[in-house]
Amino acid sequence: MYLADEAWPDLESYFEAESLALVPLGSTEQHGPHLPEGTDHVIAEAFAREAAARTGYLCTPTVNIGVSPHHRQFPGTMWVDAPAFRDYVESFTRNLAYHGVDRVVFVNAHGGNVQHLREVGRRLRDDGVAYAVEWMWDESIPDVVEEAFEHNGPHGGPKETALIQYLHGDLVHDDRLEDAHAGGVETITPALTMQNGARTYYDAVENSENGVFGDQTDATAEKGEELFEAASDQLVQLCEWLAEREWEELAPPAPVRSE
């Protein structure tokens, strides 16, 4: 069920029967010369809608712009400041709680959002409003990703390329895959990102001239389908696990007391 497509009487019936919602979140930022800037939010929405279709749970509209200032040197990248993002996500999640949702899966496809979604989840749980958990598709299937690609890369690499080839192939510039590989960084090593134990970079362009990592030429739509099916299975299982939990299992533990 997709919230924006439904009339309120039908949503009323859902909220009377269920208490779980999927919220897709991504970004609008550079993903190299070969992928659209909407890569992350396209991926997040695809997973959330797929899980909603399989389970019958509610999928909300997608948050398309995230915390992406580290890609700002590339034309078209959009971002919001981290505090504004956290407050916005917390506010609309409280809105869902008003309607009766007390467990939320943040279906996230952008690494820059992770720590902020975790913080929002903590706030909501500590306040007894809802249990909101952040889910990142590639972290749910690390072995599948590792087996699929020799040089994966954390951003604009073959895993994201393969998914967009499968989900929205018309948006991929396949004729630029070689250039993306040649102009990016195939393997991230500590020498690129660390100096005497300190991270010496803040922006993606400081590590990769064209903003991407990994070997994009290793991507195919067939591999993208494999990734999508495997991660969708994981998301469905997460939803089912979360829906089965009693609130007492999700609430913060009681304070530790000495005997």
Tokens of 213: 């990592």
> Considering the entire predicted model, what is its pTM?
0.96
**Which residues, 6+ apart, have CB-to-CB distance to 187 below 8 Å?**
151, 153, 213, 214
Which residue in 184, 20, 17, 182 sits closest to 96, CA to CA? 20
Q: With cut-offs at 50, 70 and 90, classify the pLDDT of residue 194.
A: confident
Instruction: Tally the domains of the chain.
Output: 1
Which residue in 120, 155, 121, 150 sits closest to 138, CA to CA? 155
Say if 259 falls within a structural domain: no
Tokens of 123: 């706030």
Q: With cut-offs at 50, 70 and 90, classify the pLDDT of residue 191.
A: low
Query: How confident is the model over 45-77, as pLDDT tens digits?
Result: 999 999 999 999 999 999 999 999 999 999 999
- Encoded amino acid at 166, one letter: Y
Query: How confident is the model over 90-139, as pLDDT tens digits?
Result: 999 999 999 999 999 999 999 999 999 999 999 999 999 999 999 999 99
**What average pLDDT score do residues 239-254 get?**
95
The CATH number of the domain holding residue 183 is 3.40.50.10310
- The predicted structure's pLDDT at residue 169: 97
CB 105 within 8 A of CB 23: yes
- Residues found in the chain: 259
Residue 175, judged by CB atoms within 10 A of its CB (0-12, 13-18, 19+), counts as: exposed
Say if 48 falls within a structural domain: yes
User: 3-state class of 35 per DSSP?
Assistant: strand
Say if 153 falls within a structural domain: yes
Say if 165 falls within a structural domain: yes
Say if 90 falls within a structural domain: yes
